[in-house]
Amino acid sequence: MDSGLVAALARAVPTGGLITAPEALRTYECDGLTGHRVVPSAVVLPESTDQVAACVSACHQARVPFVARGAGTGLSGGALPVADGVVICLTRMRAILDVDIQGQRVTVQPGVANLQVSDAVRANGHYYAPDPSSQSVCTIGGNVAENSGGAHCLKYGFTTTHVVGVTLVTPDGRVTTLGGAVADAPGYDLLGVVVGSEGTLGIVTEVILNIIPIPETVRTMLCGFASMSAAGLAVSAIIAEGITPAAIEMMDRLAIEAVEAAVHADYPRCQAVLLVELDGPRAECASTFARVEEICRQSEAQEIRVAADASQRAMMWRGRRAAFAAMGRISPDYYVQDGVIPRGRLAPVLDGIAALEQEYDLRVANVFHAGDGNLHPLVLYTGSHHGEGDRALELAGRILDLCLSEGGSITGEHGVGSDKACAMPKMFSEGALEVFTRVRAAFDPDGVCNPGKVLPTPRLCGEVPGPYRPHPLEIAGVATRM
């Protein structure tokens, strides 16, 4: 790397904030998509917006690409470094700058972990709604970039609903604010474009979040079904009735088996379970809950358990949250897919996935956000068996094709990143991709900000990615996937 740039970066950040030693750089070689690895030339750890701007300016002047990084839990290779590029890691910017309970706003630096926001306002009866499973570690900056979701986003909306303003360092190093604490900022809604842009339009250095009151009451039930399609039909019936539960999560027999082996959550032994949670005013919740129970019964639920108290509820969620980490109990390796289908099409798509299992002679465990049609099929395989990893990857790709054939999406929350950039043409026309490219160029005409992500490039799409490996956080038991 150009020594002038290294010197400029060193000046931009406090002592100890520049990493160039090869061993130390390896920490940053991948995110949660561990099959893709690239060692960057340098990593900087700025502590303020001005420092980020100085780092970005230096890179921009040298026309050296840079990649923003939060906690590195992303599952689509969004924070994958660019060879010969710089990683700008935001984890030292972890201050909560302002809490305004009456105005329902919290202003944070991007390195603040998702859960810290709720922790800061819980005593005042509020919380930050988006709850990715990685919430104890993943950063708000990463959430903004990925427009992250979580089990309770079904009712409350994804990150984009709750981010009202950001400070953005543009790819040429200027600092600007988009949106703000107050609604309806005049001009184009650039904030809406930046959220979910996967770090390709600039670096977010401050975020204003909307917080909401903790609901008066929460009710949770676990329903066992004789088949996945029966559970799928129950979900469709609940949604079609216009009920918006706080969460509807679904797991199949394989997933239940794995969970039981791992955490003994005492789930019903059946082909499928639904975890349904409702929250809100007591008056509303009680009648709707009864109605959901009735629908599940009509959909031939074999067993319905209602959580009698908070500890029983926690137990039900424990099973769900452990699902991904538990896969290790039943398979040495697995690949996580993330696709979306219309919610009325759950049953046929699940049948389609079952048919693919047969075709490929591989097992697929299903654990997913059923209420918004966000599937997370886990393709199980044994990496040491010759060719099985490739078959698993191919099967995972076929599942995306299935989602698309139903009018769905190639990603509901994990993002496109480097993982699915080459699949974008399956979902978007040439014209659409051209529009994305032009919007990106409006922010980053020189192509220095997280290049190679989101949009397909010939170079990228010639390469074949490596197989999935568990994220270190999963191995350590700190977080589970989704």
Ligand X SMILES: Cc1cc2nc3c(=O)[nH]c(=O)nc-3n(C[C@H](O)[C@H](O)[C@H](O)COP(=O)(O)OP(=O)(O)OC[C@H]3O[C@@H](n4cnc5c(N)ncnc54)[C@H](O)[C@@H]3O)c2cc1C
Binding residues for another protein restricted to 142-171, rule: CB under 8 A: 146-147, 149, 153, 157-158, 160-161, 170
DSSP string, 155-203: HH--HHHHEEEEEEE-TTS-EEEEE-SSS--SS--HHHHHTTSTTSS-E
What is the enclosing helix (H) or strand (E) of 237? helix 228-240
Q: Which of residues 112-131 bind another protein (CB under 8 A)?
A: 125
Q: Which of residues 390-429 bind another protein (CB under 8 A)?
A: 407-416, 420, 424, 427-429
Is 181 among the residues that bind another protein (CB under 8 A)? yes
Is 239 among the residues that bind another protein (CB under 8 A)? yes
The binder of 70, among ligand X, another protein, none, by C-beta within 5 to 8 A per type, is ligand X
Q: Which of residues 271-290 bind another protein (CB under 8 A)?
A: 280-284, 287
Candidates 139, 210, 220, 411: give the one binding ligand X (CB under 6 A).
Answer: 139
Candidates 3, 188, 459, 464: give the one binding another protein (CB under 8 A).
Answer: 188
Is 177 among the residues that bind another protein (CB under 8 A)? yes
Q: Which of residues 320-379 bind another protein (CB under 8 A)?
A: 340-344, 369, 372-374
Is 67 among the residues that bind ligand X (CB under 6 A)? yes
Backbone angles phi, psi at 10, to 5 degrees: -60, -40
Is 242 among the residues that bind another protein (CB under 8 A)? yes
Closest to another protein by CB, 14 vs 342, is 342
Is 446 among the residues that bind another protein (CB under 8 A)? no
d(CA 296, CA 300): 6
d(CA 403, CA 348): 11
Is 71 among the residues that bind ligand X (CB under 6 A)? yes
DSSP string, 411-443: -SSS--TTTSGGGHHHHS-HHHHHHHHHHHHHH
Q: Which of these, 398, 340, 387, lies nearest to 364 by C-alpha position?
A: 398
Instruction: Kindly provide the b/e burial profile for residues 421-444, where b requires at least 16 CB atoms within 10 angstroms of the residue's own CB.
Output: bbbbeebbeeeebeebeeebeebb
Please report how the helices 253-263 and 310-326 are oriented relative to each other, as an axis angle in degrees rounded to 10: 110
The binder of 475, among ligand X, another protein, none, by C-beta within 5 to 8 A per type, is none
Residue 194, token pair as written in the block: 């930046």
Candidates 206, 277, 279, 413: give the one binding ligand X (CB under 6 A).
Answer: 413
The binder of 229, among another protein, ligand X, none, by C-beta within 5 to 8 A per type, is none
Candidates 313, 440, 471, 481: give the one binding another protein (CB under 8 A).
Answer: 440
Question: Other C-beta atoms within 10 Å of 104: how many?
Answer: 15
Residues that bind ligand X (CB under 6 A): 31-32, 67-75, 78-79, 90, 110, 132-134, 138-139, 141-143, 145-146, 148-150, 198-199, 203-204, 413-414, 450, 471, 473-474, 479-482
